[in-house]
Amino acid sequence: MLNDIKKQRLSEKEYDENFDEIHPPLNEHEAYVEGDRCYYCYDAPCIEACPTGINIPLFIRQITSKNPEGAAKTIFDENILGGMSARVCPTETLCEEACVRNTGEDRPVKIGLLQRYATDSLMNSSDHPYKRSEDNGKKVAIVGGGPAGLSCAHRLSMKGYSVTIFDSKSKLGGLNEYGIAAYKSLDNFAERETKFVLSLGGIDYKLNTTIGKDLSVDQIRKDFDAVFLGMGLTGVNSLLVDGEDNNGIDDAVRYIEDIRQAKDLGELPVGRKVIVIGGGMTAIDMAVQIKKLGSEDVTIVYRRGQKEMSASLVEQQNAQNNGVLIKHWSKPVRLITNDNSVCGVEFEYTSVKDGKLVGTGEKYKIDSDMVFRAIGQTFEDDADGLPTLGSGRISVDENYKTSISGIWAGGDCVNEGEDLTVSAVEAGKKAAESIHMELS
């Protein structure tokens, strides 16, 4: 029998070392040298690859001109959460992949690290780059204080709207606060960035408030001139196998939240042998962090091949460099239990036949103390009257407007939502512009 789960597997020094910066920030000289590698392309492909359309050559030129605060303003004009985006955005598959220097004989400009250098420079100063317009007498409600909601709130407040954010958690920030790997965002950066956004003024917030439970959609529509829904994805997909109600199996997103909010990492329960089921960034973040917490054997199991994993190749390699084993073409068929506790998982090898994923009939087992589900999240709510699709997500048009008058939505909760901070920011920004066009 396994179930070797305990706390304090490592020393305090080991925890500090394991959860230190994964990519140390650039200093002034390093930023200048790296920025000088940019060709400042007129038709820059990196801009096209950025979901928020940041003028990347311009902000890099501002850095090399010794104007990092001006560079940050260029970034914030398009992405008010540019600081967190610089830390967590998969630049290797977006702007840096599109960089003209990204050839077999050269490497791309380190756009993500340069963006962090610029935004940190401004956020560490006392001056806020924006001023709020005169109050226009109109009110907008934001449901969800994550990246989409904060982006929408900031853009609307700049235009003079009074904004109130309703969030079900005890802190604002959404996935930036609760769902990002701890080693990617240190020193309470998510909380500091949220305060930076709110410091513009005109933005109120109410925490521990859930739509459908503490307030209704109808009531919000009566009290406000417009509503933006950005509550993200709150549900977690099930493995659909027997034994999921036993001890020893948990949702990766919940455990990552525990890591992010822990005052003492040594108080978290850690198994000696851990299995993470899934192939996205949540699976990678879960596996790497549980390894850094002291687990000896961590295995990610994914039902398809490496190319089909939604986690980038760079993140997959980071997991492997941290000692995580990744197994492909396998699906869980049974949780092995002992005394109501999971002690292993039985998997079946898979293959693609006639375009469909099928089991081959060949099975194998992996022993485990802890098993984590990381196979995607779903949109769950108790609110009546939301315009949802068959997938359960909210349906919107190209301006993020729903079919209900006065309601917009964006981020992961919509029909084309992506699990990226930068994409959620863009959705909130565009929705704010659409709201302004209609109300003005």
What is the rounded distance in angstroms from the CA atom of residue 91 to the CA atom of residue 115? 11
In a domain, 334, yes or no: yes
Residue in this structure with the two tokens 């704010």, named with its chain if needed:
432
Residue showing tokens 């250098």: 117
- Name the strand (E) or helix (H) holding 166: strand 162-166
Inside any domain, residue 177 = yes
Q: Compute CA distances 230 → 9, 143, 406, 432, 436, whole Å.
A: 38, 6, 14, 12, 17
pLDDT at 169: 95
Q: Give per-residue pLDDT as tens, 340-385.
A: 899 999 999 999 999 999 999 999 999 999 999 999 887 776 555 5
Q: What span, in angstroms and rounded, lies between the C-alpha atoms of 13 and 266? A: 11
The reply to whether 222 and 290 lie within a common domain is no
Q: What is the pLDDT of residues 142-153, one digit of tens each?
A: 999 999 999 999
Tell which of 92, 123, 154 closes a domain.
123
293 & 221 share domain: no
What is the C-alpha to C-alpha distance for residues 392 and 296, in angstroms, rounded to an integer? Answer: 38
Query: Which of 376, 396, 411 marks a domain boundary?
Result: 376
The overall average pLDDT reported for the chain is 93
Does residue 193 fall inside a structural domain? yes
Kindly state whether residue 23 falls inside one of the protein's structural domains: no
pLDDT at 319 over 80: yes
d(CA 253, CA 419): 13
pLDDT of residue 264: 95
Strands 341-353 and 273-277, by their bridges, are: unpaired
Residue with tokens 């005169």: 134
**CA-to-CA dists, residue 400 to 197, 263, 340, angstroms:** 22, 38, 46
Q: Establish if 133 belongs to a structural domain.
A: no
Do residues 176 and 242 share a domain?
Answer: no
For residues 49-77, give the mean pLDDT: 97
pLDDT of 390 over the 80 cut? no
Residue 128 forms part of a structural domain: no
Interatomic CA distance for residues 60 and 45, integer angstroms: 14
Q: Which residues pair with 7 in a beta bridge?
A: none
Domain end residue (candidates: 56, 88, 123):
123
CATH number at residue 40: 1.10.1060.10
Q: How many domains does the chain have?
A: 3
Task: Give the SS3 label for residue 29.
Answer: helix
For residues 218-224, average pLDDT? 92
User: Could you tell me if 337 and 350 lie in one domain?
Assistant: yes
- 242, 223: one domain: no
pLDDT above 60 (res 389): no
CATH number of domain containing 344: 3.50.50.60
Query: Are 393 and 357 contained in the same domain?
Result: no
Confidence of residue 125 (pLDDT cuts 50, 70, 90): confident
Tokens of 75: 């970034």
Instruction: Record the tokens describing residue 57, joined without a space.
Output: 């050559």
Mean pLDDT of 188-215: 93
Asked if residue 346 and residue 252 are part of one domain, the reply reads: yes
Residues 342 and 403 in one domain: no
421 neighbors 50 (Cβ within 8 angstroms): no
Q: Is the pLDDT of residue 1 over 80?
A: no
Q: What is the pLDDT of residue 377?
A: 82
Q: What is the pLDDT of residues 271-296, one digit of tens each?
A: 999 999 999 999 999 999 999 999 99
Q: Is residue 130 part of a domain?
A: no
Task: Dig out the tokens for 125 from the structure.
Answer: 């100063």
| Cβ contact 85:421 at 8 Å | yes
Confidence check: pLDDT of 188 > 80: yes
143: its two tokens = 């449901």
> Are 286 and 368 in a shared domain?
yes
Most trustworthy range by pLDDT among 11-25, 51-65, 365-379? 51-65
What is the predicted pLDDT for the residue at 391? 57
Cα–Cα distance between 433 and 257 in angstroms, integer? 32
What is the domain range of residue 215? 139-234+379-439
Residues 346 and 293 in one domain: yes
* Nearest in space to 83 (alpha carbons), one of 117, 53, 52: 117
Instruction: Give the model's confidence band at 422: pLDDT under 50 very low, under 70 low, under 90 confident, else very high.
Output: very high
pLDDT of 222: 94
Answer whether residue 218 shows pLDDT above 80.
Answer: yes
Q: What is the C-alpha separation between 319 and 339, in angstroms, rounded?
A: 32
3-class state of residue 324 by DSSP: strand
Lowest mean pLDDT among 114-123, 376-385, 396-405: 376-385
Same domain, yes or no: 331 and 408:
no
SS3 of 372, please?
A: strand
Whether the pLDDT of residue 233 is over 60: the answer is yes
What is the predicted pLDDT for the residue at 3? 78
Is 384 found in the same domain as 420? yes
- Is 24 part of any domain? no
- CA angle at residue 44 from 43 to 45, to 5 degrees? 115
What span, in angstroms and rounded, lies between the C-alpha atoms of 420 and 110?
19
